[in-house]
């Protein structure tokens, strides 16, 4: 049996802004600063301020945890002469898949929506999928070039075989 050539097999993932060690350092500095300020205000008799400083540390920790969860998302793109297979795994581990015929697929940087240029649109047969929202503009443009090149090669192979 003849294996179908793969023209692109890519994984898109957001870049990590802070390492676990960096997160620990930031949280330690924040907790230490809020602890010292809390002791100072406690010595002045302002007890409620200590609770609000604790809430500040808790809110910062929660925001970082949400950010780290979003950084776990992945998008997998596979281009063959027959199809473009998309698989997206979000930060919670939920997976969605789609398959589009490569012979009719169009790839462009999305110009519609509230933030034009914020995602890559892959469309075919009346369906469109947005990917790469977390990529920078330069990364999106480079990826679109690579994906278009892979699609062109896939279409060329498909029509050469017929």
Which tens digit of pLDDT belongs to each residue from 94-104? 999 999 998 88
Give the per-residue pLDDT at 156: 82
- Residue range 42-59, pLDDT digits in tens: 999 998 999 999 999 999
pLDDT in tens, 58-67: 999 999 999 8
Q: Cβ(134)–Cβ(73) under 8 Å?
A: yes
The average confidence (pLDDT) of the chain is 87
| pLDDT value of residue 23 | 94
**pLDDT at position 114, please?**
59
> Cα(95)–Cα(91) distance, rounded to whole angstroms?
10
Q: Mark 39-69 as b/e (b = at least 16 C-beta within 10 Å).
A: eebeeeeeeeebeebeeebeeeeeeeeeeee
Residues in the chain: 162
- Same-domain status, 79 and 154: yes
Domain of residue 64, residue span: 20-70
Same domain, 116 and 51: no
Count of the separate structural domains present in the chain: 2
Residue 32 covered by a domain: yes
Instruction: Tell me the C-alpha distance between 100 and 80, whole Å.
Output: 10
Q: Are residues 153 and 104 in the same domain?
A: yes
* Residue 1 domain flag: no
Cα–Cα separations (whole angstroms), residue 159 to 102, 129, 145: 12, 25, 21
The number of helices, as runs of H, and strands, as runs of E, in the chain is 3, 7
Q: What is the pLDDT of residues 114-153, one digit of tens each?
A: 566 678 889 888 888 889 888 888 888 899 999 999 998 8
Both 78 and 154 in one domain: the answer is: yes
Whether residue 78 sits in one domain with residue 62: no
Report the distance separating Cα 154 and Cα 84, nearest Å: 10
Question: In the predicted model, is pLDDT for residue 2 greater than 60?
Answer: no
The pLDDT of residue 111 is: 67
Report pLDDT digits (tens) over 26-40. Answer: 999 999 999 999 999
68/23 Cα distance (integer angstroms): 10
Query: Does the pLDDT at position 1 exceed 50?
Result: no
Distant-in-sequence, close-in-space partners of 88: CB < 8 Å, separation ≥ 6: 73, 74, 75, 76, 95, 96, 97, 131
Q: Are residues 91 and 154 in the same domain?
A: yes
Bridge partner residues of 133 (DSSP): none
CATH of the domain at 156: 2.30.29.30
Longest dimension (CA), the chain: 85
């Amino acid at each position: 049996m003849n294996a179908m050539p793969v023209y692109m097999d890519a994984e898109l993932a957001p870049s990590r802004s802070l390492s676990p060690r960096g997160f620990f350092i930031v949280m330690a500095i924040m907790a230490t600063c809020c602890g010292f300020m809390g002791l100072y205000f406690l010595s002045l008799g302002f007890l409620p301020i200590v609770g609000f400083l604790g809430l500040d540390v808790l809110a910062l920790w929660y925001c970082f945890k949400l950010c780290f969860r979003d950084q776990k998302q992945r998008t997998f793109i596979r281009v063959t002469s027959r199809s473009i297979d998309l698989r997206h795994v979000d930060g919670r581990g939920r997976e969605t898949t789609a398959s589009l015929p490569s012979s009719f697929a169009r790839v462009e940087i999305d110009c519609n929506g509230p933030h034009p240029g914020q995602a890559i649109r892959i469309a075919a047969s009346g369906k469109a999928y947005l990917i790469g929202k977390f990529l920078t503009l330069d990364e999106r443009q480079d990826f679109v070039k690579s994906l278009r090149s892979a699609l062109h090669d896939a279409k060329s192979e498909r029509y050469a075989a017929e």
